[in-house]
Amino acid sequence: MRFKGSRSSFKEVARRLLPSDGSFDLCLSCGLCSSGCPASGLADMDPRKFLRLASLGQDEIIATTPWVWMCTLCRRCTHLCPMHIDIPALVYHARTCWPREKRPKGIVGSCDQALATGTASAMGTRPEDFRFVVEDVLAEVRENQPGQENLAAPVNRRGAYYFLNQNSREPVTEPDEMVPLWKILDYVGADWTYGTLGWAAENYCMFAADDAGWETLVRRKVAAVEELGCKVWLNTE
């Protein structure tokens, strides 16, 4: 795997991520970016080292380190950095340098599964299966939990104010985990609905650095929201 010469060098990308008055010459290597990083030290890498390698033009190392797939893109490093350098953007750029077949199979597979399913679910849950799980769990709660006889979990209700997304793992492996959110929405009197299409909250194509897939899934979800005439897309992720 080699860094493609036609792309911007990491040094150029890193400089574009600096604030307008920033300079690598002013960086004190304070390590704040690494201090809050959950991936710091993995694969002999951390945000400070990663950024310094980029500033020194070490493209081959940056483009091949598996650490970029261990980074969670949580952005703690950016919030802690006195210069507010967007290190996760540089990490994402490094991910795009990996051939798709070399990227983590779990992330890429989840991206592909979501693209192949109208629900955008990384678990491959079909629209009819999602509706069945929601209605089945709701019926059980109404029957067995006192005070929840009128709890609602609407599906495909047109004109609702909120379109609620759901982590796609929960309907498949942890369906009861959906219930607390229903109760909160019921308690505050929220006007909401699920949609059988585009309801999955996560987007593994983003983590896989698949720009085209990332955009496809976002557009699919937006289309589902607009189809039901909802005003707000409420994403739990």
Q: What is the pLDDT of residues 146-165, one digit of tens each?
A: 999 999 999 999 999 999 99
Does a structural domain hold residue 4? Answer: no
Q: Where are the beta strands (DSSP E) in 101-176?
A: 162-164
Q: Could you tell me if residue 176 is inside a domain?
A: yes
Residue with tokens 């036609």: 6
Same domain, 116 and 220: yes
What confidence score (pLDDT) does residue 83 get? 79
Taking the model in full, what pTM does it have?
Answer: 0.83
Task: Verify that 90 and 25 share a domain, yes or no.
Answer: yes
Q: How many domains does the chain have?
A: 2
More confident of the two residues 5 and 224:
224
- The pLDDT tens digits for 170-179 are 999 999 999 9
Instruction: Give the per-residue pLDDT at 81.
Output: 86
113/94 same-domain check: no
pLDDT in tens, 186-195: 999 999 999 9
**Is residue 26 domain-shared with residue 84, that is, in the same domain?**
yes
Give the structural domain span for 17. 10-98
Is residue 92 included in any domain, yes or no? Answer: yes
Distance CA 91, CA 73 (A): 8
